[in-house]
Amino acid sequence: MSSISLQNVKKAYDNETVVIEGLNLEIKDGSFTVLVGPSGCGKSTTLRMIAGLETVTDGDIFIDGKRVNDVAPGKRDISMVFQNYALYPTMTVRQNIEFGLENKKIPKEERDRRIKEVCEVVGLTEYLNRKPANLSGGQRQRVALARAMVKQPKVFMMDEPLSNLDAKLRGAMRVELINMHKKMGTTFVYVTHDQVEAMSMATDIVLMDKGKIVQQSGPKELYHNPNCIYTAQFVGSPQTNIFDGQLPEGMKLGFRPEKVRLHNVEDGLNMPAVVETKEMLGSETIYSLRTPFGVIMCKNESGDMEVDSKITIGVAYSDMYLFGADTMRIEFTEERKKAVISTYGGSAL
């Protein structure tokens, strides 16, 4: 297992295009850390710099306390799984998994033991003699995972490894990866743009935007205590409702769709609304509601409200977030609560 530390790391191309500037990141030993964010936010570049596949323009990277800026990728004791699997088509599953061990001059008996062990973990034992062309997408992904695992690295790195799989298989593979992490105890660093993958697998989430870390915390903390509007709206589906630009000093009010009640609430904001759309999602229903302050989303277990229904909705003050003019989270003080009541209370549709 290994901890990873990035200190004031910068990545620029041609000394002009700066992708990452002054990045400071601590990845705990044995954690399942997920770097998440939209395309172009710098998450894959960060992963590739840790792995040694991208050079660092400035700053330092440490693995287990050792500076690795000038250490070759093969010497960093890291295994990496890519989006495209990168399997050798002419080799069998066993040969694909064994190839790296042979290069490291691992004795045959030890190779056999490791291959048997890792194939039991990822469910490949019965496919060892098949070639990649005769495997499903999920099976090929397991081969890529097994090939990385069998090296017993200090750090196990994955760059959007599930993005080519269908939704059902992605769900199954997420469970497998969680179990793999528990069994291996190795430091996992995982890159994705999918918040569901991040929230369901990570022990620690690093949310990035424009080459910077917006917030780093566990999934529960990230969801319930976003530090800014970006975090609040990136995590959760539908995204957090924001009432924009009507409070004094540029403050903005936010609340999650599941916190909207389809009735009046005590010690909260109540307002009239009209049901614009209704999406039945099994045990939950998502409504879009037109209010005096704009259209908001509501996620509720009740599917009783019909389109064009006129209703009253409520949100408790304890379920609300306040953000300053700079979009950062601010404290919901009694004085600010009075401003919310003054601005939004008693409005008619």
269 and 212 both lie in a single domain: no
Mean residue pLDDT of the chain comes to 90
**216 vs 168 pLDDT, higher one:** 216
Q: Is the pLDDT of residue 348 over 60?
A: no
User: Tokens standing for 143?
Assistant: 């081969």
177 and 120 both lie in a single domain: yes
In degrees, to the nearest 5, what angle opens at C-alpha 36 toward C-alphas 31 and 37?
Answer: 165
Q: Is the pLDDT of residue 98 over 60?
A: yes
Question: Looking at the domain assignment, is residue 214 inside a domain?
Answer: yes
Q: What's the pTM value of the predicted model, to 2 decimals? A: 0.88
**83 vs 299 pLDDT, higher one:** 299
pLDDT score recorded for residue 188: 95
315 within 8 A of 241, measured Cβ to Cβ: no
Q: Which of 65, 28, 29, 9 is nearest to 216 (CA)?
A: 28
Q: Is the pLDDT of residue 302 over 80?
A: no
What Cα–Cα distance (Å) separates residue 57 from each residue in 11, 19, 29, 227, 301? Answer: 5, 10, 25, 29, 51
Residue 23 C-alpha from the chain's centroid: 18
pLDDT score recorded for residue 347: 44
User: What is the rounded average pLDDT of the residues 93-115?
Assistant: 90
277 and 191 both lie in a single domain: no
Question: Sorting pLDDT into bands at 50, 70 and 90, what band is 213?
Answer: very high
User: Tokens standing for 105?
Assistant: 């001059």
**What's the rounded Cα separation, in Å, for the pair 41 and 280?**
33
Domain carrying residue 264: 238-344
Looking at 196, 229, 262, the residue that finishes a domain is 229
**What's the rounded Cα separation, in Å, for the pair 323 and 331?**
8
User: Tokens standing for 276?
Assistant: 């614009």
CATH number of the domain within which 146 lies: 3.40.50.300
Question: Looking at the domain assignment, is residue 141 inside a domain?
Answer: yes
Q: Is the pLDDT of residue 286 over 90?
A: yes
Q: Which of 291, 282, 266 is nearest to 344 (CA)?
A: 291
* One-character DSSP codes across 318-334: GGEEEE-TTSBEE---H
18 and 111 both lie in a single domain: yes
What Cα–Cα distance (Å) separates residue 121 from each residue in 46, 124, 175, 259? Answer: 29, 8, 12, 40
User: What is the rounded average pLDDT of the residues 210-219?
Assistant: 96
3 state SS of 94:
helix
pLDDT score recorded for residue 144: 87
176 and 250 both lie in a single domain: no
Helix axes 93-103, 108-122, angle to 10 degrees: 130
Q: Is the pLDDT of residue 58 over 90?
A: yes
How many domains does the chain fold into? 2
* One-character DSSP codes across 211-262: TEEEEEE-HHHHHHS-SBHHHHHHSSSSPPEEE-S-SGGG-EEEE-GGG-BS
Question: Sorting pLDDT into bands at 50, 70 and 90, what band is 168?
Answer: confident
Looking at 210, 229, 248, the residue that finishes a domain is 229
User: What is the rounded average pLDDT of the residues 10-24?
Assistant: 89
191 and 255 both lie in a single domain: no
pLDDT, tens digit (0-9, with 9 covering 90-100), for 187-203? 999 999 999 999 999 99
Question: Looking at the domain assignment, is residue 11 inside a domain?
Answer: yes
Question: Looking at the domain assignment, is residue 349 inside a domain?
Answer: no
Looking at 172, 200, 229, the residue that finishes a domain is 229
48 and 97 both lie in a single domain: yes
Question: Sorting pLDDT into bands at 50, 70 and 90, what band is 1?
Answer: low
3 state SS of 41:
coil
97 and 133 both lie in a single domain: yes
286 and 179 both lie in a single domain: no
165 and 277 both lie in a single domain: no
pLDDT, tens digit (0-9, with 9 covering 90-100), for 117-158? 888 878 888 999 999 999 988 888 889 888 888 888 889 999
Question: Sorting pLDDT into bands at 50, 70 and 90, what band is 349?
Answer: very low
329 within 8 A of 323, measured Cβ to Cβ: yes
pLDDT score recorded for residue 169: 77
**What's the rounded Cα separation, in Å, for the pair 318 and 268?**
8
59 and 176 both lie in a single domain: yes
Question: Looking at the domain assignment, is residue 316 inside a domain?
Answer: yes
182 and 291 both lie in a single domain: no
Torsion of CA 20, 177, 122, 133, to 10 degrees: -50
User: What is the rounded average pLDDT of the residues 242-246?
Assistant: 83
CATH number of the domain within which 331 lies: 2.40.50.140
How buried is residue 260: exposed, middle or buried, by Cβ count under 10 Å (0-12/13-18/19+)?
buried
Q: Is the pLDDT of residue 211 over 60?
A: yes
User: Tokens standing for 155?
Assistant: 């750090």
